[in-house]
Amino acid sequence: MKTHSFDVAVIGTGPAGLQAAIHASRKKVSVAVVGKIPKSSAYKAHVENFCCMPYATGEDLLAQGRQQAEKFGAVFFDEDVVSVERQAGAFRLSLEGGDALEAKALILAMGISRKKLGVPGEKELLGKGVSYCVECDANFFRGVPVAVVGCESAAVSGALTLLFTTDRVHLICEKLQVSENLAEKLRESAIELHEGRRVVEIAGDGAVEAVVLDDGSRIPVQGVFIERGAKGALEIATALGVDLDPESFQYVVTNKKQETNVPGVYAAGDICGPPWQIAKAVGEGCVAGLEAADYVRKLGEAD
Please report, for residues 5, 13, 77, 104, 109, the alpha-carbon distance to residue 86 in angstroms, rounded to integers and kept in the order given: 14, 22, 20, 10, 18
Residue 124 belongs to some domain of the structure: no
Question: Domain check: are 213 and 245 in the same one?
Answer: no
pTM more than 0.75: yes
User: Domain range spanning residue 190?
Assistant: 130-226
Query: In a structure prediction context, what are the per-residue pLDDT tens digits for the chain, which is 303 residues long?
Result: 799 999 999 999 999 999 999 999 999 999 999 999 988 878 888 888 889 888 888 899 999 999 999 999 999 999 999 889 998 889 999 999 999 999 999 999 998 766 788 899 999 998 899 988 787 788 899 999 999 999 988 899 899 999 999 999 999 999 998 889 889 999 999 999 999 999 999 999 999 999 999 999 999 999 999 987 666 667 788 889 999 888 767 789 999 999 999 999 999 999 998 888 899 999 999 999 999 999 999 987 756
Q: Which of 226, 256, 291 is the last residue of a domain?
A: 226
End residue of a domain, out of 226, 259, 284? 226
Same domain (yes/no): 40, 91: yes
87 & 136 share domain:
no
Helices (H), 228-277: 233-240
* Residue 144 placed within a domain: yes
Q: Which of 174, 205, 226 is the last residue of a domain?
A: 226
Q: How many helices (H) and strands (E) does the chain have?
A: 7, 17
> Residue 81 forms beta bridges with which residues?
95
Distance CA 124, CA 206 (A): 8
Distance CA 116, CA 128 (A): 16
Shared domain check, 256 and 189: no
Q: Kindly calculate the radius of gyration of the chain based on its CA atoms and give it in whole angstroms.
A: 20
Cα separation, 104 vs 65, whole angstroms: 23
**What pLDDT sits at residue 239?**
84
CATH of the domain at 192: 3.50.50.60
Distance CA 241, CA 261 (A): 8
Residue 93 lies in a domain: yes
> Looking at the structure, do residues 187 and 238 belong to the same domain, yes or no?
no
The structural domain count of the chain equals 2
